[in-house]
Chain A
Amino acid sequence: MHSVKRERTSAKVREEKRRREAVKIVEYKALVDKVLTSRKNHDYTPGALALTTTLLKQNPEYYTVWNYRREILSSIFQTQTADTIQSQIDNELQFLFARLIEFPKCYWIWNHRKWCLQSSPSPSWKFELALVTKMLDRDARNFHGWHYRRYVVQCTEKATGKSMVRHEFDYTTTKINANFSNFSAWHNRTKLIPRLLTEEPEIDARKLLGNEIYLITQAIYTDPDDQSVWLYHRWLVTSDDIVKLSSDERKDLLEKEIKSIQELLEVEPDSKWCLQSLVVYKGLVATLAGERVESSVHGYLDKLQEIDPMRKKRYEDWKTQF
């Protein structure tokens, strides 16, 4: 079980636990029986809904019961007005919010929430965005949270006909300013920037690239051991996604970055990410210039093998490329 500490307990404690659980097991099994029986009987009443509430509070992973819950709600909605449906869905969303706070990584809760919004006569995407912002404040790397955020944004854009690329780009800036080490936010930026440039043609792509490099350089200086910033840096200086550079321009950019990383390396001589980046960028410069790679690269790889012995074989393989 993820992050549940193992405890050594005495036979007496185990026996007490067993006795306590025996009562709970009887109750739980009776509840499951009741829910499954009412499903078998096509019971789509509010009473049946309440039973699923009790069960799902105890066990949100019981996906079959989520399915049953949707059957009940769909049936109830059939005879209701839009207003009543909406208020029922609002209750549902409140119920789900409490479940998500308790179980932020349970797929079924997130799925059910999407279903509710799709079934809602007037979904409040604004509220959903506020909710997921709150979730990502609690855990800035929650995979489900970021996934849900992209979903909410997509639905908002569809509903309003307006792009949220700028809004989301600014959101990643906020997250990054709060903590540079946020691979999820940097990742999102790689997806947002190309769209931003298409949608806002007045943006000078070269200037934006310059700004991004400035931002990431600050991040790198803050924590040169953080992987996420270096991965983003590599994307910026090696890909054509932001602006298609001529090979001379690319070479200039790489050389400028090499110089700046070398300065950092003087202060941080054992920074493996400095060394790795220098190997990549110098290799690219050599390819662009049609020349042999600088001999310093071999020294960097030797040093990498020495300071990062876990990946010794990777550096060995790398050497064979030069």
Chain B
Amino acid sequence: MAPEFMREKHIAYIQSLDSKQDELEYWLSEHLRMSGIYWGLTALNLMGARDALPREKTIEYVKSCQHPNGGFGAHPGHDPHLLYTLYAIQILFIQDALDAVDADIVAKYVTSLQDPETGTVRGDVTGDEVDTRFVYAAMQCLSILGKLDQFDVAKAVEYIDQCKNYDGGYGLVPGAESHAGQIFTCLAALAIANRLDLVDKDLLSWWLCERQLPSGGLNGRPEKLPDVCYSWWVLSSLAILGRLDWIDRQKLREFILDAQDDEQGGIADRKGDMVDVFHTHFGIAALSLLGFENLEPVNPVYCLPERIMGRLKM
């Protein structure tokens, strides 16, 4: 029997994260501060604890991470990067505080990362690393800001299509192996672009549902270990394809619940491991998609509470 969902403990765990200054790990993980707030805030919202983090303080913090070029860093003093820019915008969107920043300058930063020739997107202005994750991050960010018209969506879609493999999945770049995380970002980007017609739905859904292992947990690639974070990437992809029922929901639920820490709250990658806010977020988001634990619904494309999606400027 899997333990019950420990809502109160998870809320307390997320709330406690910023008070762990006496742990070295707190300082070593500064590069995860912005992402951590997004993960924590989303999980709290899904658990109905919307006000569990101080709203004004959060908004001020996000603003303090913005650079003059419009991009956001992981923490004050950290360089701007597309991923943290997305997290920043998602946090402000959840807090209904998008007006705290200048949307034009953020959009300008994000669109400047797209290569007009190939449609690819770089992670930051200094590097030339491209990745399908970045295409998704750029598109979601601009979509929230209502500025997607400033982005070459058709070129980006063409690029994603080049990343498609023989198994129906998608990789990091053209030629790269299918991976559940990359599949989620590609599917979600295609969903935002309204181009899911390009997906080989049956073949990909098959590959995705085979990620479930006898333990109930999901892995990210064939013959790999299960991990709670894949609960989200595989499950949201199946949700986007309308095939959530192609896996055993109850067994996945048990796998996630087993990974809870019954003392301090939070969810780990699998049973018996150390918890962190990343796996706590993905575990809770997956439970929400599965329709368990009386959680608020989550949007599979944006990984945000469904409740706020109506605010999206079309």
Tell me which of A25, A67, A235 contacts B79 (CB under 8 A): A67
A229 to B300, CA, bound (A): 31
A67 to B19, CA, bound (A): 29
- In the complex, the answer to whether B77 meets A227 with C-beta atoms within 8 Å is no
- What residues of B have a CB within 8 angstroms of the CB of A190 in the complex? 165-166
- What residues of A have a CB within 8 angstroms of the CB of B245 in the complex? 313
- In the complex, the answer to whether B77 meets A36 with C-beta atoms within 8 Å is yes
* Known contacts A147-B176, A311-B212, A311-B246: A25-B27 contact under CB 8 Å: yes
A156 to B129, CA, bound (A): 18
The answer to whether B152 has its CB under 8 Å from any CB of chain A is no
- What residues of A have a CB within 8 angstroms of the CB of B22 in the complex? 18, 21-22, 25
A28 to B21, CA, bound (A): 13
Tell me which of B74, B165, B274 contacts A4 (CB under 8 A): B274
The answer to whether A95 has its CB under 8 Å from any CB of chain B is no
A28 to B81, CA, bound (A): 24
- What residues of B have a CB within 8 angstroms of the CB of A5 in the complex? 272-274
Q: When each residue 302-322 of chain A gets 1 if its CB lies under 8 Å from chain B and 0 otherwise, what string results?
A: 000000011111100100000
Closest A residue, CB atoms, query B127: A111
Of residues 195 through 253 on chain B, the ones whose CB sits less than 8 Å from some CB of chain A are 205-207, 209-210, 212, 214, 216, 221-224, 227, 243, 245-248, 251
Of residues 89 through 126 on chain B, the ones whose CB sits less than 8 Å from some CB of chain A are 126
The answer to whether A255 has its CB under 8 Å from any CB of chain B is no
- In the complex, the answer to whether A6 meets B223 with C-beta atoms within 8 Å is no
Instruction: Report the tally of A-B residue pairs with Cβ distances under 8 A.
Output: 135
- What residues of A have a CB within 8 angstroms of the CB of B258 in the complex? none
Q: When each residue 9-41 of chain A gets 1 if its CB lies under 8 Å from chain B and 0 otherwise, what string results?
A: 000000000100110110011001000100000
A46-54, A58-66, A84-92, A293-301 - the one binding chain B:
A58-66
- What residues of A have a CB within 8 angstroms of the CB of B314 in the complex? none
- In the complex, the answer to whether B251 meets A1 with C-beta atoms within 8 Å is no
Closest B residue, CB atoms, query A179: B223
The answer to whether A250 has its CB under 8 Å from any CB of chain B is no
Contact-residue bracket for chain A: 35 or more
- What residues of A have a CB within 8 angstroms of the CB of B176 in the complex? 146-147, 150
Contact-residue bracket for chain B: 35 or more
Closest A residue, CB atoms, query B212: A310
A226 to B210, CA, bound (A): 11
Tell me which of A8, A310, A314 contacts B206 (CB under 8 A): A314
Closest B residue, CB atoms, query A68: B79
Min Cβ gap B258→A in Å is: 12
- In the complex, the answer to whether B27 meets A183 with C-beta atoms within 8 Å is no
The answer to whether B173 has its CB under 8 Å from any CB of chain A is yes
A-B contact pairs, 28 of them (CB 8 A): A1-B268, A1-B269, A2-B269, A6-B261, A6-B274, A18-B22, A18-B23, A21-B22, A25-B21, A28-B24, A32-B27, A61-B32, A67-B126, A111-B127, A147-B173, A150-B175, A181-B223, A183-B177, A184-B177, A187-B165, A226-B222, A231-B167, A235-B166, A310-B212, A310-B248, A311-B248, A312-B248, A314-B246
Residues of B within 8 A of A (CB): 21-24, 27-32, 73-74, 77-79, 81, 126-127, 129, 165-167, 172-173, 175-179, 205-207, 209-210, 212, 214, 216, 221-224, 227, 243, 245-248, 251, 261, 263, 268-269, 272-276
Residues of A within 8 A of B (CB): 1-6, 8, 18, 21-22, 24-25, 28-29, 32, 36, 58-59, 61-64, 67, 70, 107, 111, 114-115, 141, 143, 146-147, 150, 181, 183-184, 187-188, 190-191, 226-228, 231, 235, 239, 241, 309-314, 317
